[in-house]
Structures are given as structure tokens and as C-alpha cells.
Amino acid sequence: MTLLFDTQYLFVRALKKVIRNPILLFFSLFQPVIFLTLFTQLFKGLGAIPGFPSGSYIAFVTPGILLQNGFTSALSSGTSMVDELNSGFLQNMLVTQVNRSAILLGRLLSDAFRVTVQSIIILVMAYALGAQIVTGVAGVVVILLTIATFGLAWSGISLSIGLATRRAETVTAIGFFLTFPLLFMSTALFPQAFLPTWMQAVSSVNPVSYNVNAIRALALGGITWSTLLSAYGVTALLALLTLGATLYQFRKVVS
Amino acid sequence: MADIIDVSDLVLVYADGTKAVDDISFSVSEGEFFGFLGPNGAGKSTTIKVLTTLLRKTSGTVKVAGYDMERNPQEIRKLVGVEAQESVLDPDLTGRENMTLQGNLQQMRGPELTERVDELLKLVELEQVADKMAGRYSGGMKKRLQLASSLVHKPRLLFLDEPTTGLDPQSRVGIWKYLEKLNKLEGITIFLTTQYLEEADKLCGRLAIVDFGKIVASGSPAELKREVGADTINFSLEGGGQDGEAAKAKKILSSLEGVTEVFDSDGGLTAHAKDASRIIAIVVRALDEGGIRLSSLNVSTPSLDDVFLQHTGRRIRAEELGRMPDRRGAFGMRRRI
């Protein structure tokens, strides 16, 4: 019971912080718009190249942008945590009776919520630009859920680094170092066949690819259980690792 | 009265091997206003962190209200309030929201909490700005809001870690007023750390002087000053006592009847003497004959600074002036929460 209440208090607080910070709010909402615009404009011609799997590049790349936005946002989980550690806000919480797990849960849920809002913006924009989700509302819900869970798993990376190093710069540096190679060496932006052979190898074991493929299947093809299950399986495995590390670091901090 | 804090043989060694608290024992009775006076790095904050369940002690026994630190941390959190040294407010929430969140985390909600928040905002005179963002508050207002937040769940015991450090004198006096009120009228036991002599002298019924993780003296301010047993004569030497002047002057002073102790202090010397005003003429004459030139001289009855000097051989004021940013940084780095 206290877990639920405390999580709710901290969830609300985290959202208030975003809403009241106009610059942060602007960038969280427009970051996805900018990515979508840049990528679709830059690579518009790709759709015409023989061997490109679907009709338009926008329909193809939207799942990739959704995911890319999801894990870029997930990086901020770690930096917010560092902020709280270093400002003393976390210590202040720890001298109260607050449920310890709620501190992490409130953070993770508010980040997942933010990513979901951003994802909806991307989907609406992509729709306006002509991309469609063939599986309808149910498909959209599953897509949002897929991104949110992947985002959570990815948050674990920034959170554990943040808790271990207590430096926002380190979180950002390692975060970007991991994010961009994984993004480019996946099926997010280009069809796998378009990648050099060695990148194809990376792409086929890349968790990003699994999730993008699942979302893309939902958007363009239909529900394919095997793709969906393997995406969730990969995410679960990743979450086990990253959130496990987060929990371990968090315990070290709170005990 | 029963002891609300009971600490014996407490030791805290950080992971890097720094011994921040070195075998201290003390107890505080319910209703007392107790203080830790000492320079930066003396182990004051570390002791508070142990007592408020933030740090795990290396060894020793610590009981708060009869509860064991390791076995019942949650019980302890229920009845203690803590005001940390650093500002722990959320700048993006209003003063009222900060307090309400604090109450929520202390498992309070509904009208009971709303009323308590209003009452406390009134106490610290922040009703006018309660709905403004805390990030816009002045230093003194932030400290007051923090004090009010730490009181939201009606703690029996309040820990204040340097509650007035960095404040202007007027805000400091304001905080003192609330603290005395809380202690006297509401009977809340207060444990305060400070590096300000005046603050310790004015507020604390009893205090411990700490240095390098050890308690070097304890008692009421009056007792401690009485123990010094002598007045203080401060000498400033011309040219800061260079070329062996200080050593020479020290020798002359030590030989005089009535002078009990002589210490070096910044740019001069400090001597302890019974009834200093009576022998001052003799002292000056002796120094003059010895060729020592004074740039100034003053006589005072003992202060807590003299108590500190007597026990540590240093002045606490010199430490305050020498508060180097790198020292703070180093402390912050090794500090676990």
C-alpha cells in the first residue's frame, strides 16, 4: 500500500518538474518531431531504391524513430537520478519513511509516461505524413507498450551508471556511446539488406532490431506472434540485466 | 529524564579508510537542546547521518528513543526530523508542495496534512510566499522552509546540520528564534551541529566540542568556559611576530606570575591568566622591556573559542577562515549518503 501511494507521489512530482520547466518540456515534445522530420527528409529517396521492402520511407522509418526517441529519453532517467543524489534530495527522502522501491518505481514510471506521450506525438505526425498502422488501435497500444518496456530496460543502463558514478557527464557520454552505434547497426533506419555484411551480423543480435522489427510488423504487416515474442523476450533479458544492476547500485546507496 | 539518544564507542570509517568518527560516546536526554560544535571535517555531519539511518556505523552502539539503528530504522524515521546541511528542496515545486510531498513521504495525507502544512508555514512566516516556486526563495527562506518540512510529521527529535551556515546575521537570528520556540514551547529535543561559537553558546543547553572525529570536551557552555578557568589576553605582534619575536614573547609571558598558558594564534599570541585585568600592566611592561612591540592587545573573559583552543591548540575561527573549497570538495566526494 505504501509502495503504491509513495510511487504515485513521486510520479506526480516528476511530471510536475517536466511540465514546469518550459525549456525541458519544449525539447521533450519537439525532440521526436525534429528526429522524424530530419530522417524522413534526409532519406526520402531510399524508398525508391530497388529492393526497399515497403512503399514509403516514412512508413518504414517511423518505428525506428519511435525506438530511437525511446532510448534517447531513457538516458535522462540516469541524469535525473544523479541530480537527486548530488543535490541531497535523495538523502532527504531516505530519512523519511518512504518505501525505498517507490523511489525507483516513481522515476521509471514517470519516464515511461513521458516516452509514451512522445511516441503518440510521433505517431500522429507520421500519420499526417502518410504512414499508417495496419493493425489499428490495438496495434498502436501494443506499439506504445513495446517502446515503453524497451525504454524501461534502457533506463536501467543510465540509472545504474548514474548511481555508480554520480556524474551526469558520464551517464550522457556512455549513453550516447551505446545509443548511436546500436541505432545505426540495427534495422531502425535502413533495411537489413542495405547494411554492410559485418553490420548485418551486429544487427541480427541487436536488441534494437528485435524491437523495431516487432513495431514495424505491427505497423506495416499485421500481428506476427513470433516477432512480438522475441522482441519482448530480448527486452526482458535486457531489463533483467540493466534493472538488476540498477537495483544493486541503488541498494548500495540506500543501505 | 530518559535518554533519547544514546551513543557509545561509535566509530565510522568510510570506504576509502577515512575515519570520520573516532570512538565517540554521548547521550542526550529528552527535551534537551544539545549541540556539536566543531570545524569543518570534524565529523559532525557524519554523526548526524549515522543517527538518522543514512550511514551504517562501523562499530559501537547507537540507540535513538530506545530503538536499535539496524533493527528498527523505520521506527526511528517516524520520530526524527532532519534538516540537512545542503538545500534539499525541489526548486520546481512551490513551498507548500515541497512540504506536502515531505508529509506524503512521511505517510501523512488528507486534511490532517493540509492543516499541519498551513500551521508550519505560519510558524516560519512563509504563508505569503507558500505558493511560489521554492527555487525562487532566498537562502534564509529556503532554510526556514526546510526547517518547517523537517517538522511536518511532528518529530520528537530534530536533527539540524548547520542550520544557519551561509545565512546573513538577520536570518540567523530568525532561525534561532524558531528553534528556541520549538525546544521550549513544544518540548522537541534538538540536536544541532554548528561551527559558530555564538550559535552554540546561545542555543545549546549542553554541547560537545568535536575535532577530528573525537569529542574533546563536553558540558554546558557555562561549565566549559568555567573550566578554562582564566581570562584571555590576545596579543597582536607588530610584523606578525616574525624573526623569533613570537617565541621570545612567549618565553617572557610564560615566566610571568599569573599567566597559566600561552598559545600561538594568527599573527600573535594568546595567554590565559586569572584576573587578567589586574596583571595587564605587568604584562605590558615585561614585554616592553623585552623589546617586543605590540600592535594591539585585548582582554576578554573566556569564550567557547578559548575552550576550543585549550582542548585542540587551535582556534575554531582560523578554521572557518581557512575553509578551502577543495577541502569541502574532498569531503563531499568521500561522503556516502
Q: Where are the beta strands (DSSP E) in chain B?
A: 3-13, 19-29, 33-37, 59-64, 67-68, 80-83, 157-161, 189-194, 206-211, 214-219, 231-237, 259-265, 268-273, 294-300
Average of per-residue pLDDT across B254-266: 83
User: Per CATH, which fold does B3-224 belong to?
Assistant: Rossmann fold (3.40.50)
Flag whether pLDDT at B282 surpasses 60.
Answer: yes
Q: Is B97 on the interface with A (CB under 8 A)?
A: yes
Instruction: Of A16-20, A26-30, B231-235, B317-321, give the lowest mean pLDDT range.
Output: B317-321
The kind and range of the H/E element at A199 are helix A197-205
pLDDT digits (tens, 9 = 90+) for B3-18: 999 999 999 999 898 9
Pick A88's closest partner by Cβ from B78, B86, B102. B86
Instruction: At A101, list the grid cell.
Output: 522501491
Whether the Cβ atoms of residue B238 and residue B293 lie closer than 8 Å to each other = yes
Q: Which of B93, B106, B337 minimises the CB distance to A90?
A: B337
**Do A153 and A242 meet the contact criterion of CB atoms below 8 Å apart?**
yes
Of A88, A97, A255, Cβ closest to residue B105? A97
- What's the pLDDT score for residue A237? 96
Contacts of A87 in chain B (CB under 8 A): 86-88
Residue A189, C-alpha cell as written in the block: 533506419
Bridge pairing between strands B259-265 and B19-29: unpaired
- Output the average pLDDT for chain B: 86
For B224, other C-beta atoms within 10 Å of its C-beta total 26
Closest CA to A76 of A16, A34, A18, A145: A18
Q: Please report residues of B whose CB lies closer than 8 A to that of A91.
A: 54, 84, 88, 337
CB B139, CB B89: distance < 8 Å: no
The sign one gets for the Cα dihedral A24, A29, A30, A36 is positive
- The residue among B5, B17, B35 whose CA lies nearest residue B200 is B35
Q: How far is A108 from chain B (nearest CA, A)?
A: 18
Residue of A16, A21, A93 with shortest CB distance to B105? A93
C-alpha span between A237 and A153 (Å, rounded):
9
3-state secondary structure of A204: helix
Q: Tell me whether residues B53 and A91 touch, CB distance under 8 A.
A: no
pLDDT at site B95: 96
Contact between chains at A5 and B104 (C-beta distance less than 8 A):
yes
Say whether B92 and A5 touch across the interface (CB within 8 A): no
Q: What is the rounded distance in angstroms from the CA atom of residue B169 to the CA atom of residue B21?
A: 30
Mutation site for B-interface testing, chosen from A87, A95, A252 by largest number of B Cβ within 10 Å: A95
Subunit contact A16:B93, Cβ cutoff 8 A: yes
For the segment B232-240, the average pLDDT, to the nearest whole number, is: 83
Q: Tell me A186's DSSP state.
A: S
Looking at residues B240-251, what average pLDDT do you find? 80
Instruction: Decide if B87 touches A, using CB distance below 8 A.
Output: yes
For residues A128-142, give the mean pLDDT: 90
B226-241 CB burial, b ≥16 within 10 A, e <16: eebebbbbebbbeeeb
Residue-wise pLDDT tens digits, B51-72: 999 999 999 999 999 999 889 9
Q: How confident is the model at residue B334 (pLDDT cuts 50, 70, 90)?
A: very low
Strand partners, B33: B190
**Chain B residues with CB inside 8 Å of A89's CB?**
88-90
Average pLDDT over residues A3-14: 95
Instruction: Count how many pairs of residues, chain A against chain B, have C-beta atoms within 8 Å.
Output: 68
The answer to whether the CB of A99 falls within 8 A of the CB of A4 is no
Position B244 scores a pLDDT of 79
For residues A219-227, give the mean pLDDT. 88
Written as nine digits, the cell of B189 is 529535543
Residues on chain B touching A253 (C-beta within 8 angstroms): 336-337
pLDDT at A41: 86
pLDDT at A1: 80
Nearest to A91 among B77, B84, B153 (CB): B84
With contact defined as beta carbons under 8 Å apart, do A48 and B48 qualify? no
Going B281 to B287 to B288 to B293, the CA torsion angle's sign is negative
Percent above pLDDT 90 for chain B: 53
Asked if residue B331 has pLDDT above 80, the reply is: no
Quick one: fold of B230-301?
A: Alpha-Beta Plaits (3.30.70)
Q: Do A253 and B337 touch (CB under 8 A)?
A: yes
B86 to A87: CB separation less than 8 angstroms, yes or no = yes
Residue by residue, DSSP assigns B20-42 as EEEEEEEEEETT-EEEEE--TTS
Contact A16/B84, CB-based, under 8 Å?
no
Contact A88 B88 (CB under 8 A): yes
Give SS3 for B236: strand
Q: Using an 8 Å CB-CB cutoff, list chain B residues near A20.
A: 92, 133
Average pLDDT for B308-316: 82
Which residues on adjacent β-strands are paired with residue B299?
B233
Tell me what the mean pLDDT of segment A77-101 comes to: 91
The alpha carbon of residue A28 is apart from the nearest alpha carbon of chain B, in Å, by: 17
Question: What's the pLDDT at A116?
Answer: 93
* Residue B274 CB neighbour total at 10 angstroms: 12
Q: pLDDT tens digits for B186-195? A: 899 999 999 8
Q: Is the pLDDT of residue B1 over 70?
A: no
Cα angle value B173/B179/B184 (rounded, 5°): 125
φ, ψ for residue B64 (rounded to 5)? -120, 120
**Closest Cα in chain A, distance from residue B307 (Å):** 33
Q: Which of B52, B92, B336 sits opposite A95 (nearest CB)?
A: B52
pLDDT tens figures, B108-162: 999 999 999 999 999 999 999 999 999 999 988 999 999 999 999 999 999 999 9
Mean pLDDT for all residues in chain A? 90
Residues of chain B with CATH 3.30.70.100: 230-301
Q: How confident is residue B226, by pLDDT bands cut at 50, 70 and 90? A: confident
Q: What is the pLDDT of residue B327?
A: 36
**Chain A residue numbers touching B90 (CB-CB < 8 A):** 13, 17, 89
> Which band of pLDDT confidence, cut at 50, 70 and 90, is reported for residue B277?
confident
Mean pLDDT (whole number) for A235-255: 92
pLDDT over 70 (residue B317)? no
Q: Give the residue numbers in A contacting B (CB under 8 Å), as ranges.
A: 2, 5-6, 9, 13, 16-17, 20-21, 85, 87-98, 253, 255
pLDDT of residue A204: 92
Q: Is the dihedral of CA B137, B140, B144, B150 positive or negative?
A: positive
CA angle at B93 for the pair B88 and B95, rounded to the nearest 5°: 75
Cell numbers that stand for B75 in this block: 521506527
- Helix, coil or strand: residue B267: coil
Which residue out of B46, B57, B93, B105 would a mutagenesis test of the A interface target, given it has the greatest number of A Cβ atoms within 10 Å? B105
Residues of B in contact with A16 (CB under 8 A): 92-93, 97
- The amino acid at B293: R
- Supply the DSSP string of A46-79, one letter for each residue: GGGSTT-SSS-HHHHHHHHHHHHHHHHHHHHHHH
**Which burial class, exposed, middle or buried, applies to B75 when counting CB atoms under 10 A from its CB (0-12, 13-18, 19+)?**
middle
Q: Can you read off the three cell numbers belonging to residue B256? A: 610571568
User: In chain B, which segments carry CATH 3.40.50.300?
Assistant: 3-224
Percent of chain B with pLDDT over 70: 93
Question: What is the complex's ipTM, to 2 decimals?
Answer: 0.87
Do B42 and B63 form a contact (C-beta atoms < 8 A)?
no
* CA-angle at B146, arms to B142 and B147, nearest 5°: 120
